[in-house]
Amino acid sequence: MEGGHRSLLTAPLLAEAELRSGSDADAAADVILDIRDAGSLRGNELMQGYSSESVEGDVEVVVTAGGEDSNPFDLLGAVPFRYIRQPCSLDPFRNHTPTVEGVYEFSKIVLCLPLALARLVLFGLSLVVGFLATKLALQGWKDKQSPMPRWRCRIMWITRLCARLILFSFGYHWIKRRGRPASREIAPIVVSNHISYIEPIFFFFELFPTIVASESHDSIPFVGTIIRAMQVIYVDRFSAPSRKNAVNEIKRKASSNGFPRVLLFPEGTTTNGRAIISFQLGAFIPGFPVQPVIVRYPYIHFDQSWGFISLAKLMFRMFTQFHNFLEVEYLPVIFPSEKKLETASEFAERASHIIATALDVVQTSHSYGDVMLLTKASEHSKEKPSAYMVEMAWVESLVNVTTSEALEFLDKFLDMNPDSNGRVDFHDFLTSMHLGPSSPLSEKVFRFVDVENKGFITFRQFLLGSGSILKQASFQQTCGEIFSECSSGDLLSREKLGEVVGSAIPGISSETLRELFRSFDVDKDGVVSRRDFMEFLQKNPLMIAVFLVSKRPHDSMDVYY
């Protein structure tokens, strides 16, 4: 197993029955590997009523054993699938020392309080002097699209020295380096793993590069002015035009030796340093040589990673340490492959693997989207916020669901009252989706998501199931056709909705129907328009199963009654 991936062995090395026979040989074994053949995988571990059709990549496609009527979404071309790739148990964002624990750490903080005050003064003075020097360097400079003139760069050395003093104030009295930066002519782009806010300060002092940063950083007091002097490339990660423009700017500045190196943190967010998460492609699309750099923060009592810990608390802990350790290693330059036409994704994967290998950590498919999911779950006071991470980069590649769509699906999932482990049972699923009471159709919809047939679903399963329906090529067209068939005068009446839903779910209560109608009325104007209908199904794609019943041939309708 590597990076959370599991390989499927199709050769039957040992029969499953022999592995479970309880023989003396088994009893004497220290480790038993449960290696199953294809027939075993098509057995009772799959959901009841389904069988395995094929295995492709990270998912195992599952087709109905009892005919098309066992799949409520077959008219859309969707099939349930079970992911062979198991959920990653590693939380790459969690700070491992969020609170002060132990007599030693408490005593050290008390002893270092006078030192912390002195460090705070040094930090403040360095920031002010650096800010004033930067203002002087930028004074009267109008042509920001061209490289900064050399005399202005010389003034910026004052700010760079102030940056080193800031690092000193945080307890980084010496910094261990391995390797050397390649010349800008050889490697115009530098990429690094990202653990804390310390790395940008270090690289500002060490390399004075052009960086790629969020537009929100421009408004940060003092910092915004300083990064403008670095001729920062701003990007809105949720805007496709902004991302495209950022790539063009990276290419333009990397291609001209008049500009500094371009520095990127391709993970797009900070981690705790125990994994390398998915890389964004901005550094690799231009096709220039890249120098990878790795940073480490060795520690025993204080994890310096900026993960789910406030900036103020992290700064206080840094100020109250005797010394904080930082190691920086410059790795050999990575050149685009000359032997074959290498895509940006392949180039990024190669760089990611090199960095992960040098750090001796695993690679995962988490992304900044997982940070947003984690944050939302925390805001809802969930006991295990990490249970709502899904390895968003993998999900996007699998079902093409965006982060904003995943956040909307999380809102829906949280309304289902998940338990402390982030799981939702059948009853809460029906209540939230307005699919009650239990019926053959509602059971099939739930089982489409609960592909492990455990009687509960996780957010990961709900997202994959909902996303696979939403992204079907015929989904939008089918929604439009359903509305045209059910509506009258471009409006869907309460009576017609009750008729359609009642035929699909016999015994549904009038109160549930009223709640469902109110849910369809997205703009809350008392009527359900085409726009309301389409928007509701867009956010609740599993609900289309209710309307697909009426589109089935009559000889297959009896499955739902």
Q: Give the model's pLDDT for residue 145.
A: 86
Tell me the backbone φ, ψ of residue 78, rounded to 5 degrees.
-85, 145
Q: Where exactly are the structural domains of the chain?
A: 71-87+369-552, 103-363
The CB-based long-range contact list for 41-45 (8 Å cut-off, 24+ gap) reads 41/8, 45/452
3-state SS string over 2-50?
ECCECCCCCCCCCCHHHHCCCCHHHHHCCCCCCCCCHHHHCCCCCCCCE
CATH 1.10.8: does it fit domain 103-363?
A: no
Q: Is 55 helix (H, G, I), strand (E, B) or coil?
A: strand
Angstrom distances, CA of residue 408 to CA of 385, 405, 474: 16, 5, 21
Q: Give the model's pLDDT for residue 41.
A: 32
pLDDT in tens, the chain (561 residues): 444 443 333 333 333 333 333 434 333 333 333 333 333 333 233 333 344 443 345 666 555 444 445 788 988 888 777 666 777 888 999 999 988 888 999 999 999 999 999 999 999 999 999 999 999 999 988 887 889 999 999 999 999 999 999 999 999 999 999 999 999 999 999 999 999 999 999 999 999 999 988 877 777 777 778 888 888 898 888 888 998 999 999 999 999 999 999 999 999 999 999 999 999 999 999 999 999 999 999 999 999 999 888 899 999 999 999 999 999 999 999 999 877 788 999 999 999 999 999 999 999 999 999 999 999 999 988 889 999 999 999 999 989 999 999 999 999 999 999 999 999 999 999 999 888 778 889 999 999 999 888 999 999 999 999 999 999 999 999 999 999 988 887 898 888 888 888 888 888 888 888 899 999 999 888 889 999 999 999 999 999 999 988 776 654 444 433
Q: Give the model's pLDDT for residue 178.
A: 96
Verdict on whether the full-model pTM lies above 0.75: yes
Angstrom distances, CA of residue 288 to CA of 210, 245, 316, 338: 15, 17, 40, 12
Contact 265, 192 (CB under 8 A): yes
Q: How far apart are CA 196 and CA 305, in angstroms?
A: 5
